[in-house]
């Protein structure tokens, strides 16, 4: 890790300690967010998986029905029967907030023109196979919409989880150790300065004591010589 | 109100016409790509279904819309039946989020639960 140059002062240390605390709190929050997102995501994916299996099986049936229908009637007639729909499928899109991820909620709105039976062609020239294929397709519609919704949700959640995970890791493995390292460095420097100061004081005290002793000795000597002289 | 679109080969999408989907036939991949971008840009579509035969080849085009809230581009099996592409898409989402494929490796749910607990 690259060494970061900081002033080894108590104030700077205090600042980094605050930043470390903030980072730790953020890290904990993001971790909780990630866990909750993951829980939601797995639920969504499980449901989507089951739904997709069901839809794919149902669509297979539908396509089979259409194949039979097109076999028993001419392509032109088939197209004529289907090309002008009586219904108009529209989608109402709501948004739901999942852990601050905006996901769409689809609601199908089928607007039928005129009478509301499901077939938009006369019975005269079409085959029964077409009827049943269409019915099967209409039945799978709800599931299709739900699947689209779930799949989009899964994609959006996956993106958010990835981003949150990166943030968590950045805090855990880069930012927080860095702060700790800085705080440690400053503490060491301060302690070292402290020790330097103490030894200097001890040294100065020694010198002062020495000087005092010398002075005292000098004074004693002077006194002695004075008394001997008198 | 949003429209529901579907892109695919003629035989595959004809039936959806009767349900009021906005059907876009595409005979080639290039056509499908063009339709896809046009539909996605128009902002009129909430969901765009794409048959798997095209979805496989338009991977990069659909990725562009993956992280936007709308439209949802969803692959459905075409006339040839399911190729498993839709599922592999889901698996990739799981891999992206979790970092490992924990749902599709095996189909036993009990195992899945265990795997989940073990994740970091």
The residue whose two tokens read 């799949």 is A151
pLDDT digits (tens, 9 = 90+) for A66-82: 888 877 777 777 777 77
**Mean of the pLDDT values across residues A219-230?**
86
pLDDT digits (tens, 9 = 90+) for A102-130: 888 888 877 665 555 556 666 666 677 77
**Are B46 and A66 an interchain contact pair (Cβ–Cβ within 8 Å)?**
no
**Are A85 and B19 an interchain contact pair (Cβ–Cβ within 8 Å)?**
yes
For the whole prediction, is pTM greater than 0.80? no
Q: How confident is the model at residue B108 (pLDDT cuts 50, 70, 90)?
A: very low
ipTM of the modeled complex = 0.80
Question: What value does the mean pLDDT of chain A take?
Answer: 86
B71: preceding bond cis by omega (within 30 degrees) = yes
**Are the beta carbons of A111 and A87 closer than 8 angstroms?**
yes
**Are the beta carbons of A107 and A91 closer than 8 angstroms?**
yes
The count of other CB atoms within 10 Å of the CB of residue B106 is: 10
| CATH fourth-level superfamily of B1-81 | ATPase, V1 complex, subunit F (3.40.50.10580)
A with B: how many residue pairs have Cβ under 8 Å apart? 143
Q: How far, CA to CA in Å, does A196 sit from each of A2, A6, A203, B53, B60?
A: 27, 20, 10, 77, 65
Instruction: Judge whether residue B73 has pLDDT over 70.
Output: yes
Cα separation, A172 vs A148, in Å, equals 36
Alpha helices, H only, chain A: 10-72, 75-83, 128-170, 176-229
**B106 at A interface, C-beta within 8 A:** no
Q: Which helix (H) or strand (E) holds A5?
A: none
3-state secondary structure of A113: coil
Of the two residues A59 and B115, the one the predictor is more confident about is A59
pLDDT digits (tens, 9 = 90+) for A142-176: 888 899 899 999 989 999 999 999 999 999 999 99
| Per-residue confidence (pLDDT) for residue A85, from 0 to 100 | 66
Which domains occur in chain A, in start order? 10-83+126-174 (1.10.287.3240)
| Per-residue confidence (pLDDT) for residue B97, from 0 to 100 | 85
Instruction: Determine which of A138-147, A219-228, B94-103 has the lowest per-residue pLDDT on average.
Output: B94-103
Task: Indicate which of B21, B62, B93 best probes the interface with A, i.e. most A CBs within 10 Å of its own CB.
Answer: B93
Interface subset of A 144-173, CB within 8 angstroms of B: 144-145, 147-149, 151-152, 154-159, 161-162, 165
**Chain A residues within an 8 Å CB radius of B81:** 60, 63
**B82 at A interface, C-beta within 8 A:** yes
**A47 at B interface, C-beta within 8 A:** no
């Amino acid at each position: 890790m690259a060494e970061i140059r900081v002033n080894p002062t108590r104030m700077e240390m205090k600042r980094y300690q605050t930043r470390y605390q903030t980072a730790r709190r953020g890290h904990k929050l993001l971790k909780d967010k990630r866990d909750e997102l993951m829980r939601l995501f797995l639920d969504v994916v499980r449901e989507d998986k089951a739904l997709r299996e069901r839809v794919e099986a149902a669509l297979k049936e539908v396509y089979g029905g259409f194949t039979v229908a097109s076999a028993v009637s001419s392509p032109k007639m088939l197209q004529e029967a289907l090309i002008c729909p009586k219904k108009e499928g529209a989608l109402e899109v709501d948004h739901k907030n999942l852990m601050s991820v905006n996901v769409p909620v689809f609601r199908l709105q089928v607007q039928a023109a005129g009478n509301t039976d499901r077939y938009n062609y006369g019975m005269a020239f079409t085959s029964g196979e077409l009827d049943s294929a269409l019915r099967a397709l209409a039945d799978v519609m709800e599931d299709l919409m739900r699947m689209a919704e779930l799949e989009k949700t899964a994609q959006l959640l996956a993106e958010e989880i990835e981003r949150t995970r990166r943030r968590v890791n950045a805090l855990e493995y880069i930012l927080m150790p860095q702060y700790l390292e800085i705080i440690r460095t400053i503490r060491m420097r301060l302690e070292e300065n402290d020790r330097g100061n103490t030894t200097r004081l001890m040294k100065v005290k020694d010198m002062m004591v020495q000087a005092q002793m010398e002075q005292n000795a000098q004074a004693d000597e002077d006194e002695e010589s004075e008394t001997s002289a008198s | 109100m949003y429209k529901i679109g579907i892109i695919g080969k003629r035989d595959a999408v004809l039936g959806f016409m009767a349900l009021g989907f906005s059907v876009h036939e595409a005979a080639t991949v290039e056509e499908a790509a063009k339709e896809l971008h046009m539909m996605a840009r128009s902002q009129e579509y909430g969901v765009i279904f794409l048959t798997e035969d095209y979805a496989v080849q338009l991977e990069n085009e659909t990725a562009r819309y993956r992280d936007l809230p709308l439209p949802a581009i969803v692959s459905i099996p075409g006339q040839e039946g399911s190729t498993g592409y839709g599922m592999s898409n889901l698996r990739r989402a799981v891999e992206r989020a979790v970092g490992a494929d924990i749902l599709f490796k095996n189909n036993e749910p009990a195992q899945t639960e265990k795997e989940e607990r073990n994740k970091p």
